[in-house]
Amino acid sequence: MRRCAVSIPSNIAEGQARRSAKEFSRFLNIARGSLAELDAQCILAEELGLADPAKSREIRSAIDELQRMLYALVQKIGTDNSEIE
């Protein structure tokens, strides 16, 4: 779970550093994949009795919000080859 959580901002930063909308969009989608992986692991941890259900729901709510934010950002920047400032 920690690796997924670290991967999310790392991929966002790496994509932005590439300076093209297409590459940034690609790395944002990788970050979205890491969020989905984190969500699945939260579900498993809760089902296995390794996580407090209330805390798991709180985390999953934040994950849903982040998924929406990343999706909106991907839509906003598009996938052209323009340079990112």
- What's the pTM? 0.84
3-class DSSP state of 20 = strand
What is the rounded CA–CA span in Å between residue 35 and residue 57? 14
Poorest-pLDDT segment among 7-11, 17-21, 39-43, 69-73 = 17-21
pLDDT at 15: 95
Res. 81: pLDDT tops 60: no
Mean pLDDT of 39-47: 95
CATH of 2-77, one of 1.20.1440.60, 1.10.10.10, 1.20.1250.20, 3.40.190.10: 1.20.1440.60
Residues 6+ apart with CB under 8 A from 83: 19, 20, 21
What are the domain boundaries of the chain? Answer: 2-77
Res. 83: pLDDT tops 90: no
Mean pLDDT of 32-53: 95
